[in-house]
Amino acid sequence: MEFYNQRRKQLKEAKRNKAHKIIAKFESSYEVTVISQYIDNLLELAGSTNVVHLHGELLKAGSSIKLRLVYDLKEMGIGVGYTRKLGSQLRPHLVLFGKALDGPSNSNCSKS
């Protein structure tokens, strides 16, 4: 979990680039759904409003018991003993290496 906590800290320094901004600008003329393999939030920071994160999102955590329970982390990290609803250990809301995709990270997720 510390690996991902460090990535969250690094994400604070990341900047959206010209491509992020161009993709977001398409929304002014078209209905756009962006399907991204990236786990950062740079597309959203550039203005995209309908992003599907295929591999999950770095700034979210999921329940270790009920996979569809997803929580916004805001600035906090995750550690052993960090729990939420159902008393389940929080885990990174990411598709880890060797795991099957569970579907888009923003579909049917409960944000409690």
Contact 95, 101 (CB under 8 A): yes
Q: Which amino acid is at 64?
A: S
Q: Tokens for 61? A: 């955590």
Residue in 101, 30, 47 with CA at minimum distance from that of residue 93: 101
DSSP strand pairing (51-53 vs 34-36): parallel
Rounded CA-CA distance 79/82 in Å is 6
CA distances from 76 to 52, 71, 88, 108 (A): 22, 11, 17, 23
Cite the active site residues.
55
